[in-house]
Every structure is written in C-alpha cells, then in structure tokens.
Structure 1
Amino acid sequence: MDNTFWAFIALVIFLGLIWYLKVPSKMGKSLDSRAERIRTEIEEARELKEEAKQQLAEYQRRRREAEQEAKDIVAAAKREAELMLDEARRKNEDYVARRTAMAESKIGQAEQDAVAEVRASAVNLAVAASARIIAERNSGGASGQFIDQSIGEVRKRLN
C-alpha cells in the first residue's frame, strides 16, 4: 500500500461524497439560476433601453414644439411691435397734421385780423380825412350835422 493507493482511495471517497451530497445538480441549478438571472437582467436592460429611446424621442419632440412655440412667440411679438410702431407713426403723423392745420388756421386768422385792422385803420383815416375836407369846404351849422350823420353811416358800412 503505497501513497498512490491512498491517493486513489481519497479521490474515490471525495467523488463519492460529492455524488452523495448532489453537488453536480446543485451546481447545475446554481448555474441555471444564474443564467436565468442574467437573462432577466438582459431583458430588463432591453426594456430600459427601449424606454430610454421613447423618452429621448418624447423630449426631442417637446424640444421641437418648444422651439416652434418660441419662434411663434417671437414672430407674434415682432408683429405686435410693428403694429405698435405703425400706430405710433400714424398717431404722430395725425398729431403733426393737426398741429400744422392749427398753425395754418392761426396764421390765416392772424392774416384776416391784420387785413381787417388795416382796413379799419384805412377807413378811419379816410373818414377822418373826408370829414376834415368836408368841414373845411362847408363850414355851416345845419350842414355840419348832416355831414356828421353821413360820416357815421359811412363808418358803419365800411367796418
């Protein structure tokens, strides 16, 4: 009985013990459960990947919508600003036109007043001159009263 024999006996006992404790089936079950767990994790990873793709697509769609909405808001703001600018220009032009018309009206009124004043002065001067000339020519009592009435009537008609 040498060492080789005892090593052989130890190997047989070891293999018998492994077979008795059903180590190969336990190892198979362990490997099978591990393989199943790995398959489950792979499937979950695929599902998560698909979900991530869907979320990415949703976020990209929302981003495009937000960009379009921002463009629409900017365009609406530009249109509104242009309308406000046009309205301000129109109001400014109306204001300038009203002020110009008012100034022209005042100028026209001032011209009319000046013409009327010049006429009145001319009439007064003409009447005074006429009165002096007539008074010098006709220095009499009754005719003087008639002349004064005539001069007053001329003043009324010319003014």
Structure 2
Amino acid sequence: PALLRPPKGASLREYQMTGLNWMVSLYNNHLNGILADEMGLGKTVQVMALIAYLMEHKSNCGPHLIIVPNAVMVNWKSELLQWLPTVRCVFYVGAREERARLFATDVAPALFNVLVTTYEFIMRDRSKLSKLDWKYIIIDEAQRLKERLQAVTR
C-alpha cells in the first residue's frame, strides 16, 4: 500500500505479504483471526500494512482501535509514526486529565484514524471508548487479556 512508508532499505518480506493477504481475506469475509507469528517477525508491520490497505483499497479510514501491553506502547508509537506518517494516530495514554483532553479534542470529534491504548486504559475508560463505532480492532498479545480477566475474577 502506498500509505505504508518503510524506512530506507526496508520492505515487507514474503511471509509478511502472506500474512497481510491472509488478514485481508479475513476482513473480506468478515472473519476474525489470530496472527501468531513468532516474536520478532514483524507482526506490528503487518498490522500497519493492513491498516494502510484498508484505508487505500477499502475506503475504511477508521476509526481503528489497537490495544497493546503497556510495555510495547512506545514501540507501537515509533513504528506507526515511521511506517504510517500520514495516518492520524491518537496515543490514548497518560493521567486521567490527559486522557480526558485527548478524548475531547481528538477522539469525540473523530479527528483520527487509529487510536492506540493499553489494556489498563481501555478498561478504565471503557464507558466512553465502547461508544465509538470501531471499524477494526487489533489486540496485541491477546493472550494477556485472558490472563487479566482471570486475575480480575480471582
């Protein structure tokens, strides 16, 4: 996709293109899926390629939601800004006041394509965030949701 701006010398590898095509097939067939490549093989980049594809070829500009563990938020931000520099991203983190400001200025008026947040903040602000009509939801390290739910029910 043209929206995808790989760093100089970088490009999607063949297995990443296969993963992208598989995710596009899931989207076209209204199915969910788990991209379970090994760590370090570029799942984040494949997801960004999917977002670029949806925006360019499906006229699906969002809003898209990406939920990530806190430990990888900085990496997601860096990668999104590098690979999708023209896509409007909101990084929904910070103190309650900062999130309230982001919600009022960017989220509620829908001035974004992608919102990235953590498990913690999606739970804290679920009453507001659940009202949005998310076009696509991506959950990084989804197995942690199960662990988190088990911890809550104990």
* Shorter-chain TM-score tier: under 0.3
Where is the helix percentage greater, Structure 1 or Structure 2?
A: 1
Calculate the TM-score normalised by the size of structure 1: 0.14
TM-score (norm 2): 0.15
Identify the structure with bigger relative contact order (alpha carbons < 8 Å, sequence gap 6+).
2
